[in-house]
């Protein structure tokens, strides 16, 4: 009796795996001829081919993690960057280039890195970077490393090396989550940091390119120092980025003709609207004029810029200030009420709630960052939340491809076949089973690579949700690829989550 270590590192022993069918097939090794196994395989394959492929998923759909009745929502709040404003790939290239030049000029990194070009298909959002070991990797919802998705520079780290480095496939929780609250932004005392923000994609690209450069040129470096320098370089370039985008907004910002229509619909339904963004006013103003028109402010009852989220949602006292648009400065006046048409900066959610009376489940807030936009408002303030996950469009497009559907379907059926035959005995039967297991491994990797060659789907690590999606589903009531997908639903729509299948329910409902 042999066993195989699969790509995800699970020890697929031919015994002691719980079977989905009866107990009798599990415990005793059974003599099954190779011919009989092949007949079972052929029958299963025929069954798979005869199944109708599932319907396409609507790429403009809104997906519910939790029931949400829009009739209860009186107030709609929005983040700006990557929520209302979606950027073209040119934004990633710009941030990469600015950050790379800053590394050379300010941090005196080797001139040679100026030749390293950004690869927009390399990383995906939600990966973790191990700041001690200098590895970029993908974790699932059980904090397991997805083998085959661990990179040092631009090269994958072999599975045996990953297992040697971490001693285990499961990462201790202290590696990724600080034991105290409200430290999900910026620098944390954990060994791994998660890159959950879309602005961090160029950071990851730069990190991996420079690591690769150091490795190729045999230059010794400390991964943590590199990480801090890359992060600081890219983030310190945001003011320059703001200036360049303001000068040429259509080069960087995707237009969205549906946005006015969506805002008009909310206004017609008598909903209040507010904007809370970390970006500065001149940048937001230019973008909103491009997206919505010069009178964009007339839609919003409250506009708060430079809000310093997530601290905006967590800090008790940081007074709201008034921004003087004419003189481009902030005023010292005490703010006791909020008025439409006035621009505010800083402040706290407490002050926003106290001055407006907007509270709890009557507020629905949209953001693209599952932690800094959505976690605290739902956990601490009971707001309803919507996540804008741009990558969802590509993921759904991939799911809808007939080859993907066929592969995913066959993977499920082949897995069931393997599970039911794991106790076969005799060299011929075992060889047949090994061939099935190898086919399953190939299929799993094929399904992974169609999303992203290196890291696969943003949402899945093979059968499990990713660390990113577990947290997304926890903090978001609904999620969608673009805010204007909501135009497909009336302002009185109730979103119902589907009855998700639990492992013990699978046979009864879904086979």
Catalytic residues, which ones?
79, 81
Element at 274 (helix H, strand E): strand 272-276
**C-alpha atoms less than 13 angstroms from C-alpha of 325 in its C-beta half-sphere:** 14
Q: Which residues are annotated as a binding site?
A: 79, 81, 368
Alpha helices in 357-423 (DSSP H): 376-379, 392-399, 402-420
Q: What are phi and psi of 326, to 5 degrees?
A: -65, -50
Q: Report, in Å, the least distance between residue 388 CB and Mg ion.
A: 8
Beta carbon nearer to Mg ion, 79 or 346? 79
Beta carbon nearer to Mg ion, 8 or 81? 81
Determine, following the binding rule CB under 5 A, whether residue 368 of this chain makes contact with Mg ion.
yes
Nearest one of 155, 17, 54, 146 to 437, comparing CA atoms: 17
Q: Report, in Å, the least distance between residue 265 CB and Mg ion.
A: 22
Q: Report, in Å, the least distance between residue 134 CB and Mg ion.
A: 28
3-class SS at 371? helix
Q: Which of residues 338-367 bind Mg ion (CB under 5 A)?
A: none
Determine, following the binding rule CB under 5 A, whether residue 285 of this chain makes contact with Mg ion.
no
Rounded Cα gap, residues 155 and 373, in angstroms? 33
Query: ω into residue 310 within 30 of 0, thus cis?
Result: yes
| Contact pattern from residue 209 through residue 248 relative to Mg ion, giving x for each residue in contact according to CB under 5 A and a dash for the rest | ----------------------------------------
Nearest residue to the partner Mg ion, using Cβ: 81
Q: Which residues are annotated as a binding site for GMP?
A: 81
Q: How far is CA 22 from the centre of its chain?
A: 39
Residues 6+ apart with CB under 8 A from 105: none
The window from 76-84, 113-121, 266-274, 501-509 that contacts Mg ion (CB under 5 A) reads 76-84
Assess contact for 336 and 310: CB atoms under 8 A: no
Quote the tokens at residue 125.
Answer: 């959002």
Q: Count of residues binding Mg ion (CB under 5 A)?
A: 4
Rounded Cα gap, residues 166 and 386, in angstroms? 36
Rounded Cα gap, residues 24 and 19, in angstroms? 10
Beta carbon nearer to Mg ion, 169 or 369? 369
Beta carbon nearer to Mg ion, 95 or 154? 95
The window from 79-87, 338-346, 383-391, 400-408 that contacts Mg ion (CB under 5 A) reads 79-87
Beta carbon nearer to Mg ion, 85 or 230? 85
Determine, following the binding rule CB under 5 A, whether residue 82 of this chain makes contact with Mg ion.
yes
Any idea how long the chain is?
511
Please identify which residue in 62, 70, 75, 81 interacts with Mg ion, judged by CB under 5 A: 81
Rounded Cα gap, residues 4 and 438, in angstroms? 9
Please identify which residue in 8, 76, 79, 346 interacts with Mg ion, judged by CB under 5 A: 79
Q: Report, in Å, the least distance between residue 200 CB and Mg ion.
A: 11
Quote the tokens at residue 316.
Answer: 């008790």
Quote the tokens at residue 320.
Answer: 């709201």
Q: Report, in Å, the least distance between residue 256 CB and Mg ion.
A: 15
Determine, following the binding rule CB under 5 A, whether residue 279 of this chain makes contact with Mg ion.
no
Beta carbon nearer to Mg ion, 87 or 410? 87
Q: Report, in Å, the least distance between residue 347 CB and Mg ion.
A: 17
Interaction site with Mg ion (CB under 5 A): 79, 81-82, 368
């Amino acid at each position: 009796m042999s066993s195989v270590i699969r790509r995800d590192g699970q020890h697929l022993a031919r015994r002691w795996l719980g079977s989905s069918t009866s107990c009798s097939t599990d415990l005793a090794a059974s003599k099954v001829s190779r011919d009989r196994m092949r007949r079972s395989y052929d029958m299963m394959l025929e069954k798979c081919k005869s199944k109708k492929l599932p319907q396409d998923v609507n790429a403009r759909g809104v997906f519910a993690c939790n029931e949400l009745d829009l009739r209860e929502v009186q107030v709609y709040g929005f983040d700006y960057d990557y929520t209302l404003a979606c950027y073209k790939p040119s934004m990633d290239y710009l941030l990469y280039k600015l950050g790379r030049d800053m590394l050379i000029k300010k941090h005196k990194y080797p001139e040679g890195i100026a030749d390293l070009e950004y690869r927009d298909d390399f990383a995906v959002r939600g990966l973790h970077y191990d700041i001690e070991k200098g590895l970029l990797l993908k974790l699932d919802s059980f904090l397991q490393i997805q083998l085959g998705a661990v990179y040092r520079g631009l090269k994958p780290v072999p599975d045996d090396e990953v297992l040697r480095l971490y001693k285990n496939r499961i990462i201790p929780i202290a590696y990724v989550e600080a034991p105290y609250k409200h430290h999900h932004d910026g620098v944390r005392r954990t060994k791994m940091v998660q890159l959950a923000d879309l602005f961090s994609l160029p950071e990851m690209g730069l990190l991996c390119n420079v690591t690769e450069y150091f490795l190729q040129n045999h230059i010794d470096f400390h991964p943590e120092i590199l990480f801090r320098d890359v992060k600081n370089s890219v983030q310190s370039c945001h003011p320059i980025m703001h200036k360049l985008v303001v000068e040429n907004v259509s080069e960087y910002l995707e237009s969205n003709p549906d946005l006015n229509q969506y805002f008009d619909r909310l206004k017609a339904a008598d909903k209040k609207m507010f904007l809370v963004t970390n970006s500065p006013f001149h940048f937001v103003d230019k973008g909103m004029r491009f997206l919505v028109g010069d009178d964009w402010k007339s839609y919003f009852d409250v506009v708060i810029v430079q809000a310093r989220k997530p601290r905006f949602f967590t800090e008790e006292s940081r007074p709201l200030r008034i921004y003087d648009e004419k003189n481009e400065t902030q005023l010292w006046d005490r703010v006791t009420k909020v008025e439409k048409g006035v621009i505010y900066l800083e402040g706290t959610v407490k002050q926003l709630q106290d001055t407006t009376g907007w509270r709890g489940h009557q507020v629905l807030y949209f953001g693209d960052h599952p932690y800094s936009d959505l976690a605290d408002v739902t956990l601490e303030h009971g707001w309803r939340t919507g996540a804008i996950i741009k990558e969802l469009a590509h993921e759904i497009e991939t799911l809808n491809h007939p080859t993907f559907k066929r592969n995913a379907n066959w993977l499920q059926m082949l897995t069931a076949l393997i599970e039911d035959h794991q106790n076969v005995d005799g060299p011929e039967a075992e060889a047949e089973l090994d061939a099935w297991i190898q086919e399953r491994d190939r299929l799993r990797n094929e399904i992974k690579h169609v999303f992203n060659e290196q890291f696969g789907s943003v949402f899945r690590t093979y059968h499990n949700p990713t660390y990113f999606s577990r947290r997304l589903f926890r903090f978001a009531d609904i999620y969608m690829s673009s805010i204007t997908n909501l135009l497909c639903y009336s302002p009185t729509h109730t979103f119902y989550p589907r009855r998700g299948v639990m492992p013990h329910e699978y046979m009864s409902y879904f086979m």
